[in-house]
Amino acid sequence: MPTIGLSMIVKDGGDDLRHCLNSVRSLVEQIVIADTGSTDRSGDLARDFGATVVPCTWNDHFADARNVALAPVTTDWVLVLDADEELSPEAAAAMPDLLANTPQHVAGYQLTIRNYAHEIFASVVGSLGHRNTDSYARAKSALTYSEHRICRLFRRHPAIYFTGRLHEAVELQIHHADFKSIASELLILHYGTLAEKSGYDQKQQRYYRMLRAAVEETPDLPHLWVQLALTERNTGNNLDAALECIRRAIALHPGEFDAWSLLSGYLSEKKQHKEAIEALGHLPDSGDWGISKAWSTGDNLHDLGRFKEARSMYCLALERAKKSPAKLPDEFLGAIESRIGYTEVRIGMHTVGLRKLVRARDAAPTILANHERLMKAYVLIRDDRRAAEAAEATLRHLSSEQLYGRAAALLLRAGERERAQRLIETGMRQYPESVYLRSMTG
């Protein structure tokens, strides 16, 4: 039976590392950990599991660190995990037989990374956040998960090693060595996104610095331009720089779906909705991409005032979402139904539209956008009283000084002055420093 070794880079792995090593304890014959500067007991914990711990000076280069952890491995195959990951029990049970029957021309297996999240609308590389029904103990608090594949199991071979400052990988070397990397059903469970984030801004700045260096070193890799675009937009709030990066990615690889998706989103932000719709046309109509394509096209058509066409696209998105093999959260479906309802009100289908809006709100009462569409729909049909009631209903599930102020303003429009005043007073008790609410007391 082929032997398996675990190779990791770790810094301050904490309890995550213990869970990770426990998940492979009965599977691997060797553990090698490159420690890039832990200040906790990660090294001692790893040695308790029989690991070889190798000091590794961090130089802002993931492949260099991965290769330090790879060099001492002597087993037939190498499994790579991060400290906040675990190999699923099913994968641990299946891996020995899989490797025993691996053809000689296959030197790598792509494993599915299941990324758990607390958010309903989480997504990773075109994979939507699907409803989490997993029974793994650490996954039970997650609402959704999204997935992507990457080669994390490969033959130990002198020609196979990691390349890339960021998003390091072995696939290129496997190809250069005339081997193949193929998909597998093996599953890695990623819990890192469930943890509380500390020092987020500093980490993002380090990531940005590494991205810039990686792009300068290898400017012909489209996925690095995509990541740089995301960082420019989300960390630097530089939309124009993000657009330039995305266009570079597309020029290098016109089939990069995540680049076209981001381009459409950035163009929408700039109110260039026709161009955004054209960008969405490059996405496939199947799978999660097809759902996102129809939804986003509907949003852009809505913002262009083309409500009938928008409704058709939202209906298509809902139809595709209901047929998704991996079940999507009810809240996700409700968000689409809410959009359908609102466009129906806009085109005069008041009764059926309002019915959908109420149903979507009640199905997911903590999603603010569903409440807001219902309120706006009542305002559109000039039903101020029901708009005010809808605004008050929001406060049973969500709270902010703006929401109190909006509900009070709608009550005033409906002629409910005393009720509005009582609501403002309630809001003032919750937000005693609110200048906004105080300005409404006069």
Whether pLDDT at 205 is above 80: yes
Give the angle subtended at the CA of 359 by the CAs of 357 and 364, to the nearest 5°.
Answer: 100
CA distances from 35 to 14, 54, 249 (A): 13, 6, 34
Question: What percent of the chain shows pLDDT beyond 70?
Answer: 98
State the pTM of this model.
0.88
Residue range 109-150, pLDDT digits in tens: 999 999 999 988 877 667 889 999 999 999 999 999 999 999
Q: Which domain holds residue 410?
A: 382-442
Mark whether 309 and 395 lie in a shared domain: no
9 and 152 part of one domain: yes
Reported in sequence order, the residue ranges of 46-203 that DSSP labels E, i.e. its strands, are 52-55, 77-80, 85-87, 106-117, 123-124, 127-128, 130-131, 144-155, 180-190
pLDDT band at 197 (very low <50, low <70, confident <90, very high): low
Task: Reply yes or no on whether the pLDDT at 307 is more than 90.
Answer: yes
The span from the CA of 96 to the CA of 140, in Å, is 28
Residue at 375: amino acid letter: M
Q: What is the CATH number of the domain that holds 84?
A: 3.90.550.10
Give the alpha-carbon dihedral of 12, 18, 21, 24, to 10 degrees: -150
Which residues are bridge partners to 217 per DSSP? Answer: none
Q: Measured between alpha carbons, how far is residue 112 from residues 54, 125, 151, 312, 316 in Å?
A: 28, 13, 9, 34, 28
Question: What residue has token string 């696939």?
Answer: 171
Are 412 and 375 in a shared domain?
no
State whether 187 and 97 are in the same domain. Answer: yes
Q: What is the pLDDT of residues 56-102, one digit of tens each?
A: 999 999 999 999 999 999 999 999 999 999 999 999 999 999 999 99
- What would the mean pLDDT of 381-402 be, rounded to a whole number? 93
Contact 429, 441 (CB under 8 A): no
What total number of domains does the chain contain? 3
Tens of pLDDT, residue by residue over 339-377, are 999 999 999 999 999 999 999 999 989 999 999 999 999
Same-domain status, 56 and 157: yes
